[in-house]
Amino acid sequence: MITDRGSYSISHQAWRLGKLVISCAVLAAGNASAEPRYDPGASDTEIRIGNIMPYSGPASAFGIIGKTMSAYFRMINDKGGINGRKINFISYDDAYSPSRAVEQARRLVEYDEVLAIFAPFGTVSNAAIQRYMNIRHVPQLFVITGASHSADPEHFPWTIGWQPSYRTEARIYADYILRHHPDARIGILHQNDDFGRDYLLGLKDILQDKYEQMVVASLPYEVSEPTIESQIVAIRTAAPDIFIDVATPKFAAQSIRKLAELDWHPVHIVTNISVSVGAVLRPAGLHNAKGILSAGYQMDVTDPQWDSHPGMQHFRAFMAKYYPEADRSESGPLVAFNMSGALVEVIRRCGDDLTHERIMRVATDLDLEIEGYIPGIRIKTSPTDFHPIEQLQMMRFTGERWEWFGPLLDGRTDQAAPSPD
């Protein structure tokens, strides 16, 4: 009996001790799960975000985007940061050069140890750094290009785009042409890289067999060329009724001026990246730009119809305080304002789990509205959809501002999106 009782006592004590150990382990695990998780670039007090922008070179007009982002994060830090952490925004110039972009990406990842490279600009630059970023498993987040390679989760799971794809935008133009100018002759100027080639693919998607019949001239240009005037003259010689201008701001402005000089007045379509009144249309001459067509999703900063909109009011108040010297007619600052707001939302949702993996999980599970976009535009992503914006609406320049017309088109379905209430 004594032996049995003694055995029971020892066993019971062991069970109680084991239960205590397990309880402590569970408690410790619970405490551990509440502890912040950091990858390089994040700490209790700071989040380092990298950026690559063409502050010089042929695409330097877009440098104002990076400058505005820097101002935006100063505003965020003045308000206490995100979840108590300040943003250290580190932005470098790549001069729109792929090799320079690679150097800057390595500098940001290996020396500055950023948590992510946010909104790197340009098709060629993003293509150049994409494999490196994916090998390092560092988010290449909300890249500023609509090229198809920016939204390829199967092959590049650490790269996610932002704007509508160039191919989707081109499909909208082709659909417009078939509906309103079915027998037109088309001339195309396009940048000789993935940016230009994706637009050509989008046109072919819709025009199909009619492409060869309708396109009477299609000439490329290199970003290193000082001017595209010779290409414009050659395209005009083919006598197209429609001129599709697949060019960045510097060359788009040259095209508008050259068409006016030649007294040539085709239906002129410019890409969404070259619709800035301040950076493109005003330098080209507003009277020369009257009647130009494009498609967009962002409010026009020069259009008084948005003056009372809360999003535009917030943007203008921000600019007045943090970047008052900027040209108020340029669209680039609003691009930066909208994208930076999206990044803040992603980081906020990450909470204390500031890892590369968590950043991508949040960025690929979005469904939200951005206050500087036209009504009806939604930011939507999923693990298989890396293009946050796929909606556009046709617009026409009146000589003073962009005027919207037609339905909001959804590139995901190739149909008109539901009208906003």
Same structural domain, 244 and 310: no
Give 16's pLDDT tier (boundaries 50, 70, 90). very low
Calculate ∠ Cα 388-343-164, nearest 5°: 20
pLDDT tens-digit profile of 170-206? 999 999 999 999 999 999 999 999 899 999 999 999 9
Give 384's pLDDT tier (boundaries 50, 70, 90). very high
Same structural domain, 67 and 139: yes
pTM (two decimals): 0.83
Q: How many domains does the chain contain in total?
A: 3
In whole angstroms, what is the distance from residue 390 CA to residue 410 CA?
6
Same structural domain, 112 and 246: no
215-221 and 186-191 strand pairing: parallel
**Mean pLDDT score, 81-97:** 97
Least confident stretch, 39-53, 66-80, 130-144, 272-286: 272-286
**Mean pLDDT score, 329-355:** 97
Residue 188: what pLDDT? 98
Examine residue 402 and state whether it is found in any structural domain, yes or no.
yes
Give 420's pLDDT tier (boundaries 50, 70, 90). very low
Residue 249: what pLDDT? 92
Contacts of 286 (CB under 8 A, 6+ apart): 277, 399, 400
**Mean pLDDT score, 72-83:** 98
Same structural domain, 258 and 309: no
* CATH code where residue 98 lies: 3.40.50.2300
β partners of residue 94: none
Same structural domain, 335 and 367: yes
pLDDT tens-digit profile of 396-409? 999 999 999 999 98
Examine residue 421 and state whether it is found in any structural domain, yes or no.
no
Give 132's pLDDT tier (boundaries 50, 70, 90). very high
Give 148's pLDDT tier (boundaries 50, 70, 90). confident
Mean pLDDT, all residues of the chain: 90
Residue 140 and residue 120 in contact, taking contact as beta carbons nearer than 8 Å: yes
Same structural domain, 405 and 277: yes
Burial of 210 (0-12, 13-18, 19+ CB in 10 A): middle
Residue 17: what pLDDT? 42
Residue 4: what pLDDT? 33
Same structural domain, 196 and 269: yes
DSSP letter for each residue of 327-379: -TT-SHHHHHHHHHHHHHHHHHHHTTEE-HHHHHHHHTS-EE--TTB-TT--E
What is the percent of the chain where pLDDT is above 70? 89
Give the domain range for residue 258: 166-296+394-416
Same structural domain, 10 and 64: no
Residue 412: what pLDDT? 62
Examine residue 36 and state whether it is found in any structural domain, yes or no.
no
**Mean pLDDT score, 47-55:** 98
Same structural domain, 234 and 369: no
